[in-house]
Amino acid sequence: MTRTFDEQFWDERYGGKSPVWSGKPNPHLVAEIAQLETTSTTVLKTALDVGCGEGADSVWLAGRGWQVTGIDISQVALQRAQNHSAQLLLQGAIIWEQHDLLQWTPPTSFFGLVSIQFMHLPRTHRERVYARLAAAVAIGGTLLIVGHSVSDALAGARRPDNPELFFTANESAAALEPTRWRVEIAESRPRLEKGYDGGTITVHDEVMRAVRLA
C-alpha cells in the first residue's frame, strides 16, 4: 500500500525530540542564490520557501536580506522554524504560514524567488501544484526546483518506495512555457550521502532554475 504523506504524517515526523534536518540551508539554494545575486543587477528580494520544514532555507534567505514567506503543511515543523528564526532575531523578516499545497493558491506574480526543495508529491498533484507555484513568481523572478533523483533508491539511499514521487530537472524545465521562461540550469548533480547500510553513497539531486520573462 502506498503511504500517504499528509499533515498527520509530517506532524509525527517532526514530533520527536531531535531536529529532522541539519539546520543548514540546502546547498543548491546557497549556490543558485549566490549565482543570482552576482549576475543580476536588480533582484526582487521576496521569497516563497515551499515546504519549508524546520525553516533553515528561510532563515538563511532572511539573513541575506530577503523578505521570506515559509509555508508548510505541518504546524509542528512551523513551530520549530519559528523558534529557529526567533533565536536569530529574524522573526520580522519571515512570515510562517500553514498551507496544504494541494488546496492553496499562492498570490500570482508576486515573489522574486519561489524555492521548492525536496517537495515530492504524486505526479497528478505535482503538475497542478507546481503550475500554481510557478505562477507565483513575479516577472523577472526565479523559480528554483530541487528534488531527489529516482535513481537514489537503487544507489542505496533512504527514499519513499514510490518512483512516481520523483522527477528530473528536465521534466521541471519542460513544464514551463518557453516563451514565458528562460531555463538557466537543468541538471542532475551528484552529492554524497549516508546510505541504508551506513556507508557513504553517491546520490543525485535534480536542479532546475528558471527566470520568468512574461
Is 110 among the residues that bind ligand SAM (CB under 6 A)?
A: no
For residue 28, give the C-alpha cell: 543548491
Residue 13 · residue 20 · CB < 8 Å:
yes
Task: Please list the residues that pair with 95 across neighbouring strands.
Answer: 69
Cα dihedral angle (17, 20, 2, 195), rounded to 10 degrees? -120
Is 10 among the residues that bind ligand SAM (CB under 6 A)?
A: yes
Q: Is 124 strand, coil or helix?
A: helix
Q: Is 137 strand, coil or helix?
A: strand
Phi-psi region of 77 (alpha: psi -120 to 50; beta: other; left: phi over 0): alpha
Among 58, 69, 74, 142, binds ligand SAM (CB under 6 A): 74
Q: Identify which of residues 123 and 182 has a Cβ nearer to ligand SAM in the complex.
A: 123
Is 149 among the residues that bind ligand SAM (CB under 6 A)?
A: no
Total residues binding ligand SAM (CB under 6 A): 18
Among 12, 37, 97, 100, binds ligand SAM (CB under 6 A): 100
Residue in this structure with the C-alpha cell 500570482, named with its chain if needed: 108
Among 34, 102, 131, 174, binds ligand SAM (CB under 6 A): 102
Among 45, 46, 82, 118, binds ligand SAM (CB under 6 A): 118
Spatial separation of the C-alpha atoms in residues 53 and 73, rounded to whole Å: 9
Residue 41 · residue 205 · CB < 8 Å:
no
Q: Identify which of residues 95 and 102 has a Cβ nearer to ligand SAM in the complex.
A: 102
Is 48 among the residues that bind ligand SAM (CB under 6 A)?
A: no
For the bound state, the minimum distance from the C-beta of residue 110 to ligand SAM, rounded and expressed in Å, comes to 18
Among 117, 149, 168, 172, binds ligand SAM (CB under 6 A): 117
Cα three-residue angle 12-16-19, rounded to 5 degrees:
110
Is 160 among the residues that bind ligand SAM (CB under 6 A)?
A: no
Q: Which stretch binds ligand SAM (CB under 6 A): 37-45, 73-81, 167-175, 181-189?
A: 73-81
- Binding residues for ligand SAM (CB under 6 A): 5, 10, 21, 26, 51-53, 72-74, 77, 99-102, 117-119
